[in-house]
């Protein structure tokens, strides 16, 4: 029982996921601090309030913390931009460069000229309209 658990934990995907969660939490804390301590005062200076998170209003005694929501929104946009520009975009560039010299894979399907259905490349007749294909 413990050997199965050990094998599960030591699998590469589980370790990668655990590392990603820890680094993601730390990165989230850094971005939250950036938003709270630097961006919020800058935006608050433009809006005219000394503390951006203090922007709120109440309706019938219920407080709506608009500033806290805006902090979370700016935090999310910063994290999403960082992930895109520092992870997704470089990985897409690396994958595109790796595929640059490769020939495209051979097609596995063809289109029937009569009904425009997709059929396997080795088919001699269309499965949908029974049109016979010429041998190429």
Domains of the chain as residue ranges with CATH: 2-99 (1.10.1200.120), 105-136 (no CATH)
Token representation of residue 124: 């001699």
Dump pLDDT digits (tens) for 16-68: 788 888 988 888 888 778 777 887 677 777 777 655 677 788 899 888 888 88
Q: Report the C-alpha gap between 129 and 136 in whole angstroms.
A: 20
| Sign of the four-CA dihedral 123, 129, 134, 136 | negative
Dump pLDDT digits (tens) for 69-102: 887 887 788 778 877 888 789 988 988 888 887 8
Q: Report the C-alpha gap between 80 and 42 in whole angstroms.
A: 20
State which H helix or E strand residue 94 sits in.
Answer: helix 89-99
Any idea what DSSP says for residue 132? B
Any idea what DSSP says for residue 54? G
């Amino acid at each position: 029982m413990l050997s199965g658990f050990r094998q599960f934990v030591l699998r590469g995907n589980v370790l990668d996921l655990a590392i990603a969660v820890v680094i993601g939490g730390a990165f989230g804390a850094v971005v939250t601090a950036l938003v709270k301590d630097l961006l919020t005062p800058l935006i608050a200076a433009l809006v005219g309030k000394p503390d951006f998170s203090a922007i709120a209003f109440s309706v019938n005694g219920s407080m709506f913390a608009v500033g806290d929501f805006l902090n979370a929104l700016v935090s999310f946009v910063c994290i999403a931009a960082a992930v895109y520009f520092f992870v997704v975009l470089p990985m897409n560039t690396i994958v595109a460069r790796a595929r640059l010299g490769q020939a495209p894979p051979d097609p596995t399907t063809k289109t029937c000229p009569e009904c425009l259905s997709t059929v396997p490349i080795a088919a001699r007749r269309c499965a949908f309209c029974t049109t016979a294909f010429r041998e190429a």
